[in-house]
A and B are shown apart, each in its own frame.
Chain A
Amino acid sequence: MSQDCSDEWELSKENVQPLRQGRVMSTLQEALAQQETSIHTAFQLKRQEFESKIRFYSGDDPLDVWDRYIKWTEQTFPQGGKESNLPALLERAVKALNEQKQYYKDPRYLNVWLKFGNYCNEPLDLYSYLHSQEIGTTLALLYITWAEVLEARGSFKKADLILQEGLQRKAEPLDRLQSHHRQFQTRVSRQTVLGLEETPDEEETGLLGAAEPQRTSLADLKGRGKKKVRAPISRVGDALRATNQTRSFQTPASQQLSSNPGFAVFDENSASGPEVPVLTPQPWTAPPAPRAKENELSAGPWNSGRRPRSSVNSGPEVSYPLPNFTPYVEESAQLQAMTPCKIEPSINRVLSARKPEKEEDPLQRVQNYQQDTQEKKEMIMYCKDKVYAGVEEFSLEEIRAEIYRKKAKKKTEEEMQAIAQEMDKIQRKIEELEKKLKKKEGDEQQQSCEQPPEITEPSPSFGLQGFTSSSATEVGEKQPQLQRASWFSITGDGLLPPQDPAAFFTVFDESSTLSNQNMSCSADHAQKSARCPLAVHKSSDSLPANENVSPEACDELNGTEPLAEDAIVTGSYKNQTICANPEDTCDFVRAAHLASTPFHGVVAQRIPDPGLSQSVLKENCPEAKSTPPNQEMLVCEGVYNEPLCVNKLSPIMEASLEDTHSSGGSVSSGSSLSSVTQISTMKYPHIPQKLELAHSLPAETAADSGRIIGDDATGILWSTEQRKKLLDPMPESLTASPYFHLETGPLPIIELEKDVELGNDTYCIKWKYWTKEENKMFFAIPASIPQLDAKGFAIKVYSQPIPWDFYITLQLQERLNADFDQNFSENCCCYLFQDGCAVLHRDINRFTLGDIIRGSKTITEEVILLVVYNLLGVVEKLHNAEVVHGDLNPDVFFLGDRICDPFANEEMMRALKIVDFSHSLDLRLQSRVSLLNSFPISQTPHGQQLLVKCPSLYQVDLVAIADIVHLMLFGDHIQVYQEDSIWKISQNVSNDFWSKLLGRIVNADGKSTVPLLRALRLEINDMFDSSFQGRLCESLVELGETLGELPGIS
């Protein structure tokens, strides 16, 4: 290590703020070196990274990002100051994490608050605020910091009280608090003893001052004394903090200043120290007095403080005589100093314009903010939280870009996986083909005609499917190797353009349009149908159809771009009011496009291109399409030939409509013009889409974005393919069941508030519980009885023609016999359509366990016990029947009669009902399966940790149980860590019973699950005594009221 580089820290030692936890030397050196060269790019980048992480964090520990950001800032900006922006950062962090109850016991959270306190005018206020809010009251650090500040101000009694309280509350770590308290007592007693010793000899005070000279700042420097002239030494400092004598010694010095006219000089001796405002019990209702801040004058007219004219005149006349002494130069000054003095270049910046800020206490700001959020009057119609989340302000474009990047990344990942899958499939097909080709050399011609349908075979979950089919028809006769190559080129041309959601216009490329004309049509459709199978459409009736717009136009517009738009315009998707009156923002955004889009595209389009117009013709009559219509096509057209409306167009939009006629929406690659025209014509059909997207967005941006990737790519394909194989041919038990109905037509479109016919009955869809990949769950009532009852039907829709749920239900019934009871769906009906499957469950209470967790702030212990008891029972039954559920979460459990109708039902096992088995595995059939990561839970943080070396598939459900229990107890997902190869819960579980229960569940380690579940259930059973029943009844009545208030089905 060279000496030069290690100098930096010493040269700037005065400019480095000490940190409690110390500094990393390398960072410090780097920071100091960087600031010298004023190359901040690296820092800026890092900061930008943190800023965007704050906005787009999707995990369940947002504090982590803040914590790292704050620590990084401390280390990187050793001088603190304006550049670090630390006070603002802390303030934001505190605001952002406001009211996050799960952090109230988190030392990191307390640390953020305490650091913030250092920048508050009155940290003591902040401490008592924290205390009143119960933030960090279980942590020793709060009491220690609080007591330290009090001690520094001399309020030993109060400091002692604070420490006492901490001890009483058993704040953690208790030993640290105790030792601090001991040390504090020693210090105090020592000072008292010293004080006692010194008080008798008052006259020694002066001596003491001389022995330990302390300078007062801004004191009179005039010499005193007759024989020997001495500058008066009156120093202050920590050394004299305890001795009161010196305090009195200082006061005359500072009082001299008050006689100074014109301006007041800030005097730190008088401002700081013992005259601390008395702590008011509720200081945040009334703001604390502003701190005497250094060198800050309120602005006023300059002329009032002018010096007398005479003195100004006399100034220049004064001639300074040459000094009659030679300045003493120290010898060592000639030598090269070991530690050269350095003038800090950044100091100059301090002198640049610094506007006087409004004096405001940051603490007060935070409190005001908290009050504001509590009584929110304004509705912010854009994502303000994202724009201002961190310290820096993000523009909407930046946010948009980030969302786009995320989406693009996800998409590419998906596509890569899909491509990989496809590759495999095609490879297999090619091999088959080759075999066949060898077999029947002579009949080559005929065979190639027969093959396409075989090649294309179902799996419509992939958009790519459409291509393969069309390409296969065209190149089927060529060599297999060629086939593969052509498939790739198609991917390149046809797939990528629609994949680019944030591009507002793409450059019109004639050649690509022409060459892909036929193909892109089917491709787009296929992709579309893959994206939202059975999309729910609201209010799409009553509008007349418009023949002028080809289905593609819809496709383009329904692509991902508006989705990104939505996130920005509607902000946090909570503002769904925007959808009720879509004309304003929507049109506004569209109009903005219109205004900014260059219109020369129109000219280009108007000149009829022979090739183009030809293709237009083709496009306009779907019968002429060269691609063979398949099922997906049918679905698409059903969906997208939906009514369109053109009545309410502005003049500009009508003008552009003409262009639509001429171009006919044939531009599949999307020129600037087409996007414009589509906007105008597609206004109405677009809105329902928008609504739906707004609904589905939170799921995507939130924690499970990763999960979706995993599921889409591996999960679905894997399970669908396997299930298809398993149920092919359909088992007899299934087809023979009186509740199994094979329907000939396609799956009816199931929409909210619409009637749907299943079997011979018509049901009115009232509620949608969830959509997961290809599964949807609805709540319906018979259309003949429009009154809404507490009970109705649950309709589970699966967009694959595989009656998996029904199969599992039947298997359970068969294997469990008598145990197949209220917890499961009895007499459910299955309707198998050509392209999907619907299962109708009767007698379902409309609320789910998820509703309880979301709806009520705290769930009483009794209810949790009841639910867990049932949960354990249900899973025990499932596992007994060798079925793994795979996706247990609060939303799949419907509430049973024990909860919804507590007085009619006394049976404890009737609290939950489970009907959905989308991710279930029948281990009797699928024993080989060991793809753990295909389960949704394995994508969650806790799932990943706990299932990493999981020996048994049953474990998946155990982890899910632990998570549900945790959700009910604390309202958030479980977090685990490993200690001595034992899994522990991060959350501090105060209740012994629950911590034991969770511990046993997460540490099951591949032991057989059924005995464990039974043991746990029996333990809970022991707690059900007569007094428990009474309390349970009370809790259930209360819960019933809460549920009644939930946004129900109107």
Chain B
Amino acid sequence: MAKQVGREQQGITLRGSAEIVAEFFSYGINSILYQRGIYPPETFTRVQKYGLTLLITTDPELKNYLNNVVEQMKEWLYKCIVQRLVVVISSIENNEVLERWQFDIECDKTAKDENEPREKSQKVIQDEIRSVIRQITATVTFLPLLETACAFDLLIYTDKDLAVPEKWEESGPQFIANSEEVRLRSFTTTIHKVNSTVAYKIPSH
């Protein structure tokens, strides 16, 4: 707490920004997994975050996996070499991609050389993040029902010259053919800006 208060006064540093964004991804992905019913709702538990009640997984394996990804993301965010994180939801049976949550990350690479922290209140950032997460929750109003059992995949777009770490592999973009795209809100820490979009199959008319 003390640390946070301190940071609020100090403004936003690159490391702090990376942390905020990585944390957002952690909660965001958890929210998507819960809202879209990828894992049974019993395996989630409530936590208070961003002034909201969020659900995060209690499944140890999933938790571990997500932590790994988020840690990796944090590192890349700090290095400003990550461009995009995508949560792909696909049917287990035929591997058809049904939903694609895309978080575009704009890194301000000049921040690497700066020593001065940027001025933005942590509270404002939190409010912005809250709006994004609320929108993720609200997407049930228009997203199609996922009728089959689904699995999810995380894709991370990085700069080209990056060596693929262990346990990661290169992948295609896994687009949805004939999809409807809805832009969600975005938030920025002044160093990292995250634009969110969700794509889903166009309902047949």
Contact = CB atoms under 8 A, between A and B. Distances in A.
Contact of A339 (B131, B148, B203): B131
Interface string A25-36: 100100000000
Given A22-B143, A183-B149, A239-B41, A75 B127 contact: no
B145 A22 contact: yes
Given A3-B185, A179-B148, A22 B128 contact: no
Contact of A20 (B145, B182, B183): B145
Nearest to A242: B42
A18 B127 contact: no
B144 A13 contact: no
B62 interface: no
B138 interface: yes
A335 B143 contact: no
A22 B203 contact: yes
Given A20-B144, A22-B145, A338 B131 contact: yes
Interface residues of B, number: 32
A16 B143 CA distance: 11
B193 interface: no
A350 interface: no
A289 interface: no
A286 B198 CA distance: 49
A506 to B, nearest CB: 44
A19 interface: yes
B142 A23 contact: yes
Contacts of A3: 185
B135 A28 contact: no
Contact of B134 (A24, A176, A339): A339
Interface of B: 40-42, 51, 93, 127-128, 130-131, 134-135, 138, 140-145, 147-149, 180, 182-185, 200-205
Contacts of A71: 204-205
A239 B135 CA distance: 22
Most chain-A CB neighbours within 10 Å: which of B141, B147, B148?
Answer: B141
A371 interface: no
Contacts, number: 82
Contacts of A28: 141-142
Nearest to A11: B138
Contacts of A338: 127-128, 130-131, 185
Contacts of B185: 3, 338
Given A12-B141, A24-B202, 5 more contacts: A10-B134, A18-B142, A22-B180, A22-B200, A24-B205
A818 interface: no
B10 to A, nearest CB: 21
Contacts of B40: 190
B142 A9 contact: yes
A21 interface: yes
Contacts of A9: 138, 141-142, 182
Given A13-B138, A175-B93, A22 B144 contact: yes
A338 B140 CA distance: 19
Contacts of A239: 41-42
A335 B142 contact: no
- Chain B: interface secondary structure? mixed
Nearest to A25: B182
B143 A179 contact: no
Contact of A24 (B180, B183, B184): B180
Given A10-B134, A338-B128, A24 B93 contact: no
B29 to A, nearest CB: 20
22 contacts: A6-B182, A9-B138, A9-B142, A18-B143, A19-B144, A20-B144, A20-B147, A21-B145, A21-B203, A21-B204, A22-B142, A23-B142, A23-B203, A24-B180, A24-B202, A71-B204, A71-B205, A75-B205, A183-B149, A239-B41, A338-B130, A339-B131
A425 interface: no
B141 A16 contact: yes
Contacts of A175: 93
Interface string A772-788: 00000000000000000
Contacts of A23: 141-142, 203
Most chain-A CB neighbours within 10 Å: which of B131, B180, B200, B205?
Answer: B205
A26 to B, nearest CB: 8
Nearest to B184: A6
Contacts of A12: 141
A856 to B, nearest CB: 38
Nearest to A17: B141
A599 to B, nearest CB: 54
B56 to A, nearest CB: 15
A603 interface: no
B61 to A, nearest CB: 17
List the 10 closest A-B pairs by CB distance, nearest first.
A22-B144, A338-B131, A16-B141, A23-B142, A13-B138, A21-B203, A22-B203, A13-B141, A20-B145, A25-B182
Contacts of B138: 9-10, 13
Contacts of A18: 140-143, 145
Interface string A584-615: 00000000000000000000000000000000
A21 B142 CA distance: 9
Most chain-A CB neighbours within 10 Å: which of B145, B147, B203?
Answer: B203
Contacts of B182: 6, 9, 25
Given A338-B128, A339-B134, A22 B201 contact: yes
Contacts of A183: 149
A332 interface: yes
Nearest to A182: B149
A968 B51 CA distance: 69
A364 B144 CA distance: 31
Nearest to B135: A10
Interface in A38-89: 68, 71-72, 75, 78
Contacts of B41: 238-239
B53 to A, nearest CB: 11
A1 interface: yes
Contacts of A6: 182-184
Contacts of B142: 9, 16, 18, 22-23, 25, 28
Nearest to A338: B131
Most chain-B CB neighbours within 10 Å: which of A21, A22, A183?
Answer: A22
Contacts of B143: 18, 22
A332 B144 contact: no
Contacts of B144: 19-22
A25 B149 contact: no
Interface string A652-671: 00000000000000000000
Contacts of A238: 41
A19 B131 contact: no
A3 B187 CA distance: 12
Interface in A127-182: 175-176, 179
B152 to A, nearest CB: 17
A13 B184 CA distance: 14
Nearest to B202: A24
A68 B141 contact: no
A66 to B, nearest CB: 14
Nearest to B149: A183
Contacts of A13: 138, 140-141
Contacts of B128: 338
A18 B182 CA distance: 16
A24 B147 CA distance: 18
Nearest to B132: A338
A338 B125 CA distance: 11
Nearest to A10: B138
A46 to B, nearest CB: 13
A176 B143 CA distance: 21
A10 B182 CA distance: 12
Most chain-A CB neighbours within 10 Å: which of B138, B143, B200, B204?
Answer: B138
B138 to A, nearest CB: 4
Contacts of A190: 40
Most chain-B CB neighbours within 10 Å: which of A9, A238, A335?
Answer: A9
Contacts of A72: 205
A71 B204 CA distance: 9
B5 to A, nearest CB: 15
